Structure 1
Amino acid sequence: MKMDRHMFFRLAAAVFTAAALAGCSLLKVAVATGDPLSKEEMNTRTMTRGFYYDMAAEVARTADSIVDASADMATRVAAVRWKIRATRAGVSAAMQGIPDVALADLWILCRRMNERFAAAPDSLLFGPQSDLARDAAARLDCRAARLARQVLAADRYDLMERFVGEYVRENPVEEGDGGSNTILAWIEFLRENGVEHAYATGSIAEVLADVNDRMSGQTQQLANSVGWSKDILEMQLQQDSLRLEVGARLDSLERSFGRIVVVAEHLPEISDKMLQELGDQVTQLINTMNYSVDNAFANFDRQRDELQRYVTGERQALVDQLRTTAGDLVQTALDAVPGLVGKVLLYAVLALAVLIGGPFALGFWLGGVRERARERKK
């Protein structure tokens, strides 16, 4: 009986000590919000997106210089299309979620543009103004390499430099300003070189800031593309062929009027015939102008439809990204709930053990003391 009492007292003391120690700690309730990006990753993302804005501005300035210096319509239209494609591919590369992949894609874009412009003859580029585009592409390629050296560690920079060179060599494209998405290729390249890629989505604030940057960059590029597409439409409406055709019609009308004045003085029947010919030419002129205007508006409607489809696709992509992000956050919160509930139940069980078992053990011990005292008195 004594042995049983001692064991019970020891068990009660252990439970009481554990409850006391647990009561001394604070109960912290926290819901995981995602692993924040490291300082190096945030620096890479910020510098990459800043470089994109510089690249877009330099491409636009160079294209505008080519347009101002060239009188050839095809060259001017090609320059405007170059800055539309280059900025569109640049914003798609720079606004990716993984910082080092965004940097690699933007570097690949500049490298391809530089190599294509350096290899293509003037007749396939921008005529006498092709050197302006070549110089701009070479500067952007050098700046991309210098940016990678600044934001990456030495071993990481060596890997990315080799990856960019191999990827451009193994994946040629016809257009030097075409974009690429190298997420899978970059991760596989790192694994082949013994590096396991660690990807963090970032905290809630970083994710929201990333979404805001993407929407801002896409919106600005979309507005620029609309304005530049309008410039192309205006150039096409001012083509020399249309002006020459209208001028030829007007010259023909002037000659017809001259013949009418000379002949109508003598032969009224010839005057009637000339008036009929004049009417036919005026009708042809009006039909030509109507056809040109209808063709211009048809091109405008097609571009507007393409723009609407592009905006709808980008909006749906952003909505899907927001839904995916929200689902990840909710799933993270739900994953943290079982652990929290388990801790609460543990604390509740310990509290009940202390509140119920403590008085019982104390009463049992006091009863034993009184029993021993009564035996001593007897």
Structure 2
Amino acid sequence: MNRWMKGAAALLVVGLLAGCSLLKVSVSTGDPLPKEQMDVRTMTRGFYYDMAGEVARAADSIVSLSPDLGVRVAAVRWKIRATQAGLSAAMQGIPDVALADLWILCRRMDAAFSAAPDSLLFGAQSPLARETAARLDRRIGRLARLVLPSDRCALMERFVEEYLRENPVSEGAETDNTTLAWLEFLRENGVEHAYATGSIAEVLSDVNDRVSGQAQQLSNSVSWSKDLFEMRFEQDSLRVQLGMQLDSLERNFARIVAVAEHLPQISDRLLTELNGQITQLIRTMDASVDRAFTDFDRQRMAMQDYVTQEREALVGQLRQAGDELVRTTLDAVPDLVGKVLLWFVLAVAVLVGGPFAVGFWLGGVRARSRMKKQAGE
């Protein structure tokens, strides 16, 4: 009889659990980033794309307006280095660090351009670059005050000033990873940073942004490097030397004609000199062509090394993002198991202990009523 009662109770519990609409099983996808952090990440990356566009337009204007080849080469280099540094800063995993790194980059570029003379920048077009750097510095400051609370913005601005004072550089287009420095600064000021990777959807979106940014930057860098190569090829002295030799050859022919008409005895000596000039011209052409092909091969190898490094960096970031995704998923499994066990124990306690307690109370009430009847009789 006891075995039959236990079996019936077990079937009843299973049936109740199967029909209970309040018991739901779901897989946790990780805690999403707070809205403030998402706003910081979105606005920071949006500012990077605006910054890259402004720097590219300013550099293109300098290239189109300057007749100096050295200034044009410097403008293209600034465009490549500034956009690459901005991408590295904006794609940081921690939104606050990305904003701080981008702010440091803009402040550093503005300070470097303001302190350098025109001869070390872009010549007569240097004011255009200075205006662009100053405008970007003002915009990143307004962005920080817009997306951060007032106390957090004041802390970040003080951190940027202290970091630049302690880490001066001579160039204006580099950035550093300030993750450790920012977290230590917050801890020194009594602020504990709560780091979260976000939900799986947010992690995948972050990976997509990084891959898209790296791909676009790689494409731009290759195109701009091609422009640099063409400028350097124009800088080669081959055409200048050939022009000089041809001008000299033309003068020698004029001299030969004049001398041959008046002094035939000098013609042999002039012909010998002409032969030497032609020989020198041929040697110059051979040497210039060899040097041009050597420079072309060196540029090709440098371009190949650059593309290889960018590909390895992109693969490393994808691998790191995949590891973070797997780690987030595995971290969610213990929470799921704990929730299932908790609901199961609660259901068993309610479904088994409740009827038992009610029956025990009703039995006590019935026993007391019987005892009262017996006492009355």
TM-score, normalization by structure 1: 0.79
RMSD (Å) for aligned C-alpha atoms: 3.5
Q: Does 1:251 align with 2:227?
A: no
Find the counterpart in structure 1 of residue 131 from structure 2.
135
Q: What is the Cα deviation at residue 114 of structure 1?
A: 0.6
In the alignment, the residues of structure 2 paired with residue 135 and residue 25 of structure 1 have an alpha-carbon distance, to the nearest angstrom, of 64
Q: Which amino acid aligns with 2:212?
A: S
Find the counterpart in structure 2 of residue 42 from structure 1.
38
Q: Which amino acid aligns with 2:66?
A: S
| Aligned partner of 1:236 among 212, 232, 237 | 232
- Equivalent position SS for 2:32: coil
- Equivalent position SS for 2:92: coil
Q: What is the Cα deviation at residue 345 of structure 1?
A: 12
- Equivalent position SS for 1:188: helix
Find the counterpart in structure 2 of residue 315 from structure 1.
311
- Equivalent position SS for 1:175: coil
Q: Is the 8 A contact 2:99 2:144 kept in 1?
A: yes
Find the counterpart in structure 2 of residue 365 from structure 1.
none
Find the counterpart in structure 2 of residue 226 from structure 1.
222
Q: What is the Cα deviation at residue 319 of structure 1?
A: 2.4
Instruction: Give the direction of change, closer, same or farther, for the CA distance of 1:346–1:126 in structure 2 (3 Å limit).
Output: closer
Q: Is the 8 A contact 2:27 2:336 kept in 1?
A: no
Q: Does 1:63 align with 2:55?
A: no
Q: Which amino acid aligns with 1:289?
A: M
| Aligned partner of 1:116 among 106, 112, 116 | 112
Q: What is the Cα deviation at residue 170 of structure 1?
A: 0.8
- Equivalent position SS for 2:152: helix
Q: Is the 8 A contact 1:33 1:329 kept in 2?
A: no
Mean Cα deviation higher: 65-74 or 14-23: 14-23
Q: Is the 8 A contact 1:253 1:281 kept in 2?
A: yes
- Equivalent position SS for 2:75: helix
- Equivalent position SS for 1:238: helix
In the alignment, the residues of structure 2 paired with residue 71 and residue 346 of structure 1 have an alpha-carbon distance, to the nearest angstrom, of 77
Q: Does 1:291 align with 2:287?
A: yes
Q: What is the Cα deviation at residue 69 of structure 1?
A: 2.2
Q: What is the Cα deviation at residue 257 of structure 1?
A: 1.7
Q: What is the Cα deviation at residue 195 of structure 1?
A: 1.1
Q: What is the Cα deviation at residue 270 of structure 1?
A: 5.5
Q: Is the 8 A contact 2:36 2:147 kept in 1?
A: yes
Find the counterpart in structure 2 of residue 371 from structure 1.
none
Q: Does 1:169 align with 2:165?
A: yes
Any gaps of 5 or more consecutive residues in structure 2?
Answer: 356-377
| Aligned partner of 1:91 among 66, 87, 90 | 87
Q: Does 1:150 align with 2:146?
A: yes
Q: What is the Cα deviation at residue 251 of structure 1?
A: 1.1
Q: Is the 8 A contact 1:33 1:203 kept in 2?
A: yes
Spell out, residue by residue over 1:299-326, the C-alpha distance to the aligned partner (whole angstroms, 9 max, x if none): 3333332333233233223323333333
Identity percentage of aligned residues: 69
Mean Cα deviation higher: 338-347 or 192-201: 338-347
Instruction: Give the direction of change, closer, same or farther, for the CA distance of 1:179–1:323 in structure 2 (3 Å limit).
Output: same
Instruction: Give the direction of change, closer, same or farther, for the CA distance of 1:293–1:49 in structure 2 (3 Å limit).
Output: farther
Q: Is the 8 A contact 2:113 2:133 kept in 1?
A: yes
- Equivalent position SS for 1:48: helix
Instruction: Give the direction of change, closer, same or farther, for the CA distance of 1:193–1:317 in structure 2 (3 Å limit).
Output: same
TM-score, normalization by structure 2: 0.79
In the alignment, the residues of structure 2 paired with residue 128 and residue 299 of structure 1 have an alpha-carbon distance, to the nearest angstrom, of 30
- Equivalent position SS for 1:102: helix
| Aligned partner of 2:27 among 12, 26, 31 | 31
- Equivalent position SS for 2:140: helix
Q: Which amino acid aligns with 1:94?
A: A
Find the counterpart in structure 1 of residue 180 from structure 2.
184
In the alignment, the residues of structure 2 paired with residue 111 and residue 345 of structure 1 have an alpha-carbon distance, to the nearest angstrom, of 54
Q: Does 1:215 align with 2:211?
A: yes
In the alignment, the residues of structure 2 paired with residue 44 and residue 340 of structure 1 have an alpha-carbon distance, to the nearest angstrom, of 31
Instruction: Give the direction of change, closer, same or farther, for the CA distance of 1:49–1:289 in structure 2 (3 Å limit).
Output: farther
Spell out, residue by residue over 1:228-267, the C-alpha distance to the aligned partner (whole angstroms, 9 max, x if none): 2222222222238544422221111102222333445688
Q: Is the 8 A contact 2:104 2:164 kept in 1?
A: yes
Q: What is the Cα deviation at residue 47 of structure 1?
A: 1.2
Q: Is the 8 A contact 2:106 2:140 kept in 1?
A: yes
- Equivalent position SS for 2:187: helix
Q: Which amino acid aligns with 1:204?
A: I
Q: Which amino acid aligns with 2:60?
A: D
In the alignment, the residues of structure 2 paired with residue 34 and residue 283 of structure 1 have an alpha-carbon distance, to the nearest angstrom, of 78
In the alignment, the residues of structure 2 paired with residue 181 and residue 334 of structure 1 have an alpha-carbon distance, to the nearest angstrom, of 28
Instruction: Give the direction of change, closer, same or farther, for the CA distance of 1:177–1:214 in structure 2 (3 Å limit).
Output: same
In the alignment, the residues of structure 2 paired with residue 339 and residue 70 of structure 1 have an alpha-carbon distance, to the nearest angstrom, of 63
In the alignment, the residues of structure 2 paired with residue 90 and residue 255 of structure 1 have an alpha-carbon distance, to the nearest angstrom, of 56
Q: Is the 8 A contact 2:229 2:299 kept in 1?
A: no
Q: What is the Cα deviation at residue 21 of structure 1?
A: 7.3
In the alignment, the residues of structure 1 paired with residue 100 and residue 112 of structure 2 have an alpha-carbon distance, to the nearest angstrom, of 18
Spell out, residue by residue over 1:339-360, the C-alpha distance to the aligned partner (whole angstroms, 9 max, x if none): 6667479969x99xx99xx9xx
Q: Is the 8 A contact 1:42 1:99 kept in 2?
A: yes
